[in-house]
Amino acid sequence: MKTLKLFFIIYFIFSFNHLKASNDNMKSKITKNLRCLVCQGQSVYDSDSEFAISMKVLVDKKLEEGFSEIQIYDFFKERYGEWILYDPELNKNTYILWILPMLIFLIGGAIIFKNFNFKK
Partner 1 sequence: MKNKLLPIFITSIFIIVFIFFYRGLQNTNIYIPEIKINNKIPSFKGNLFDSNEVTNSSNLFNTDKFYLLNIWSSWCVPCRKEHVLLMNLRKNKKLEVIGINYKDTKINAENFLAELGNPYKKIIFDKEGINAIEWGAYGVPESFLIKDGIIIKRYIGPLNKKLTKEIKSIIK
Partner 2 sequence: MFYSSIGHYSLILGLCISLILIYFSVKNFKNSTILNTKILSFTFLQFFLVVISFICLIISFVLSDFSNETVFNNSHTTKPLFYKIAGTWGNHEGSLLLWLLVLTLFIFIFFLKTKNQPLKYKLLTLIFQQIIIIGFFLFLIETSNPFNYIYPMPEEGMGLNPILQDPALAIHPPILYLGYVGSSIIFSSALAATYLNIVSNVWASHIKKWIVVSWVFLTLGILLGSIWAYYELGWGGFWFWDPVENVSLMPWLALTTLLHCILVLEKKQVLTSWVIILSISTFTLSMCGTFLVRSGILNSVHTFANDPERGLFILVFLFSLICVSLFIFFFFHKSSQNNLNSFFWLSKETSIIINNWFMMYFLSVVLIGTIYPIFLDVLSSQKISVGPPFYHKLIIPFLIPFLIAMAIGPKLKWIKSNIVDKVYLILLLIISIVLSFLIVKKFDFNLLLNTILVSSALYLFFITLREFFIKKYSNISQNIAHFGFSLLILSILFNNLFSSEIITNLKVGETFTSSKTKIVFKSINQKKEKNYKSIIANFSIENLDGIIDNLSPELRIYNQPNIVTSEADIKTTLLSDKFIVINIVQNQDYFNVRYQVKPFMLWIWLSVILISFGGLISFFKKEYEK
Where along the sequence are the contacts to partner 1 (CB under 8 A)?
37-38, 50-51, 53-55, 57-58, 61, 78-81, 83-84
| Cβ nearer to partner 1, comparing 34 with 118 | 34
Measured in degrees and rounded to the nearest 5, phi and psi for residue 85 equal: -100, 135
| Cβ nearer to partner 2, comparing 10 with 71 | 10
Amino acid code (one letter) for 70: I
Rg from Cα positions in the chain: 23
- The answer to the question of residue 23 lying near partner 2 (CB under 8 A) is yes
Q: Considering CB under 8 A, how many residues would be counted as binding partner 2?
A: 54
CB of 108 to partner 2, least distance (A): 5
Q: How far is CA 56 from CA 12, 35, 42, 62, 107, in A?
A: 36, 12, 14, 10, 43
